[in-house]
Chain A
Amino acid sequence: MNKSIWAALLLLGVLAPYVVYPVFMMKLLCFALFAMAFNLLLGYTGLLSFGHAAFFGGASYITGHLVKNSGLTPELGILGGTLFAALLGYLVGSLAIRRQGIYFAMVTLALAQIVYFLALKLPFTGGEDGLQGIPRGLLFGLIDLNRVYLVGGRPLGLNLYYFVFAVFCLGFWVVHRTIHSPFGQVLKAIRENEPRAISLGYKVDRFKLMAFVISSAIAGLAGATKSLVFQLASLTDVSWHTSGEVVLMTLLGGVGTVLGPLVGAFTVVSLQSELSSVGSWITVIIGGIFVVCVLLFRRGFVGELARLLKRTL
Chain B
Amino acid sequence: MADYVLETRKLSKEFKGFSAVNDLNLQVERGHIHALIGPNGAGKTTVFNLLTKFLTPTAGTILFNGIDVTRERPADIALRGVIRSFQISAVFPNLTPLENVRLALQRPTGTSYQFWRSDRCLCQLDDRAMDLLESVGLAEVSGDITGELAYGRKRALEIATTLALEPELVLLDEPTQGMGAEDVDKITALVKRASAGRTILMIEHNLKVVATLADRITVLQRGAILSEGAYAEVSQDPRVLEAYMGVHP
Task: Tell whether A and B belong to one assembly.
Answer: yes
| Chain B contacts with A in 40-68, Cβ cutoff 8 A | 52, 54
Q: Does A210 contact B (CB under 8 A)?
A: yes
Q: Are A200's CB and B115's CB within 8 A?
A: no
Partner of A180, one of B99, B107, B118: B118
Residues of A contacting B83 in the complex (Cβ-Cβ under 8 angstroms): 199-201
Write out the residue numbers on chain A whose beta carbons fall within 8 Å of the beta carbon of B103: 185-186, 189, 197, 200
B92 lies within 8 A of chain A by Cβ:
yes
> Which B residues are CB-close (under 8 A) to A201?
75, 78-79, 83, 107, 165
Chain A, residues 162-188, CB within 8 Å of chain B (1/0): the string is 000000000000000110111111101
Residue in A185, A200, A206, A210 whose beta carbon sits within 8 Å of that of B161 in the complex:
A200
Q: Does B93 contact A (CB under 8 A)?
A: yes
Helix, strand, loop or mixed for chain B's interface?
loop
- Decide if B232 is an interface residue (CB 8 Å cutoff): no
Tell me whether B74 is interfacial, beta carbon within 8 Å: yes
Q: CB distance B75 to A203 under 8 Å?
A: yes
Cβ–Cβ < 8 Å partners of A196 in chain B: 86, 90-92
Instruction: Name the one of B93, B94, B122 contacting A182, with C-beta atoms under 8 angstroms.
Output: B122
| Complex CA distance for A13 and B223, rounded to whole angstroms | 65
> With a CB–CB cut-off of 8 A, which chain A residues contact B54?
195, 198
Q: Is the interface of A mostly helix, strand, loop or mixed?
A: helix
A177, B118: Cβ atoms closer than 8 Å:
yes
Q: How large is the interface on B (under 10, 10 to 19, 20 to 34, 35 or more residues)?
A: 35 or more
Render A193-218 as a binary contact track against B, CB cut-off 8 A, 1 for contact. 10111111111101100100010000
With most chain A CB atoms within 10 A of its CB, the pick from B54, B90, B103 is: B103
Contact with B along A32-73 (1 / 0, CB 8 A): 000000000000000000000000000000000000000000
Q: Known contacts being A199-B83, A199-B84, is A189 close to B92, with CB within 8 Å? A: yes
Closest CB-CB distance, B128 to chain A, in whole Å?
Answer: 15
Is the Cβ of B90 less than 8 Å from the Cβ of A177? no
Name the residue among A196, A198, A200 with the largest chain B CB count within 10 angstroms. A200
Q: What residues of chain A lie closer than 8 Å to B117, measured between beta carbons?
A: 177, 181-182
Assembled-state Cα–Cα distance A189/B91 (Å): 9
Closest 3 CB pairs of A and B: A201-B78, A192-B92, A183-B115
Q: Given contacts A185-B119, A198-B74, could you give 13 more A-B pairs where the C-beta distance is less than 8 Å?
A: A181-B115, A182-B111, A182-B117, A184-B115, A185-B103, A185-B122, A186-B112, A188-B92, A189-B92, A196-B86, A202-B107, A202-B112, A203-B73
Which positions in B face A, CB cutoff 8 Å? 52, 54, 73-75, 78-79, 83-86, 90-95, 99, 102-104, 106-107, 109, 111-119, 121-122, 161, 165
